[in-house]
């Protein structure tokens, strides 16, 4: 507080001196403090603390805080356990193109490497404008520095229809081999390209069990997964080491409905005209027609690949022959799911 007062007084003195030559009472300029950074979070990763916060968009009086008027952020840290300490400033991060932090849009990330395993720390961040005015501190973010949990092992992915089932084995130790007393759960990360995952886990809360069904996926799209164990009870989640990557491809396992109202009309001549009602499935690829040359004969396909038209002329029949026909529908999925046969139709060629 004393530093802030000194800065304000130092700024006011020359302004008051300039105003002494004018008539009337001097007018003090309004010195507005910048608002504190928003959403300060502290996370432990590999025995260092990652601090993240969002640049404020306003001053404390609600007026706009433009980027050109924001100079820096002051980061303070206080040790809470196993011993207490004061709240000294540990770093200053420039608002524009900082060399000691990473910026993504209006979100900043600073790495505090000077921490000790087993210690609990509380952090605050203050905004500083171009006039050197320091705003009020942000809310505190606390974190306990621990040795990271080893990665879950044996991660497996099994495909289903629009779903992938994941299973794994729970970790039992920390990365240094020390015993693990318990964990909060697991976070699963998913992507559609190898090694690239959404920054937010698929699950809203850490998963308590060692399996998970990822549903409402797109069939024939490959998905890639990794996961980490979670140690703490409240977000932001303190995660352990990352598992190996697995991938899986959900598949369409539902066949079309059997074609309906199949008709077979013989002649004239050595031909049978087949027709049926079109199927309505959006992923329909086509139809297959099977013919048996007698009641006890095994049916065979008349055409090997599915065709689109709901009709077919069979010109391979013989006069006086008796034939039995069925029709199936096939979808366009990678599985080429085939329906059950239609009702069997018998026809005799004159």
CA distance linking residue 54 with residue 271, whole number of Å: 77
CATH architecture of the domain with range 32-144: Sandwich (2.60)
DSSP character string of 288-310: EEEEESSTTSPPEESSSS-BSSS
Instruction: Tell me the domain boundaries of the chain.
Output: 32-144, 153-248, 263-348
CB 9 within 8 A of CB 1: no
Positions in the chain short of pLDDT 50? 1-21, 28
Q: What is the pLDDT of residue 274?
A: 98
Q: What is the pLDDT of residue 232?
A: 87
Residues 6+ apart with CB under 8 A from 188: 166, 201, 202, 203, 207, 212, 214, 225, 226, 227
CATH architecture of the domain with range 153-248: Sandwich (2.60)
263-348: which CATH topology? Immunoglobulin-like (2.60.40)
Q: What is the pLDDT of residue 190?
A: 98
Tokens of 25: 């009472």
DSSP character string of 100-137: SSEEETTEEEEEE----TT-EEEEEEEEEETT--B-PP
The angle subtended at Cα 233 by Cα 227 and Cα 238, nearest 5°, is: 45
Q: What is the pLDDT of residue 260?
A: 97
């Amino acid at each position: 507080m004393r530093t802030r007062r000194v800065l304000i007084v130092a700024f006011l003195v020359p302004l008051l001196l300039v105003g002494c030559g004018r008539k009337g009472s001097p007018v003090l300029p309004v010195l507005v403090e910048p608002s504190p950074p928003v959403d300060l979070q502290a996370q432990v990763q590999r025995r260092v603390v990652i601090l993240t916060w969002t640049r404020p968009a306003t001053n404390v009086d609600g007026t706009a805080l433009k980027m050109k008027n924001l100079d820096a952020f002051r980061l303070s840290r206080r040790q809470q356990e196993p011993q207490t300490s004061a709240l000294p400033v540990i770093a200053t991060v420039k608002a524009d193109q900082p060399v000691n932090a990473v910026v993504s849009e209006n979100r900043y990330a600073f790495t505090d490497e000077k921490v000790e395993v087993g210690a609990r720390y509380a952090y605050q961040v203050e905004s500083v404008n171009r006039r050197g005015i320091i705003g009020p501190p942000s809310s505190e973010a606390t974190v306990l520095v621990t040795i990271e949990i080893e990665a879950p092992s044996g991660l497996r992915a099994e495909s289903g229809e629009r779903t992938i089932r994941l299973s794994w084995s729970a970790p039992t130790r920390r990365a240094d081999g020390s015993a693990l007393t318990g964990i909060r759960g697991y976070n699963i990360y998913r992507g559609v390209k190898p090694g690239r995952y959404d920054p937010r886990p698929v699950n809203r809360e850490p998963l308590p069990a060692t399996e998970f069904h990822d549903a409402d996926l797109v069939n024939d799209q490959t998905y890639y997964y990794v996961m980490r164990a979670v140690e703490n009870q409240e977000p932001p989640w303190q995660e352990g080491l990352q598992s190996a990557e697995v991938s899986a491809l959900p598949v369409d396992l539902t066949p079309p409905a059997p074609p309906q109202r199949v008709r077979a009309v013989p002649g004239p001549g050595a031909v049978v005209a087949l027709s049926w009602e079109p199927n309505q499935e959006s992923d329909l690829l086509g139809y297959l027609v099977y013919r048996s040359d007698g009641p006890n004969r095994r049916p065979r396909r008349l055409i090997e690949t599915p065709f689109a038209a709901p009709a077919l002329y069979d010109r391979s029949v013989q006069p006086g022959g008796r034939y039995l026909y069925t029709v199936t529908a096939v979808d366009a999925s990678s599985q080429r799911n085939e329906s059950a046969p239609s009702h069997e139709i018998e026809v005799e060629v004159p």
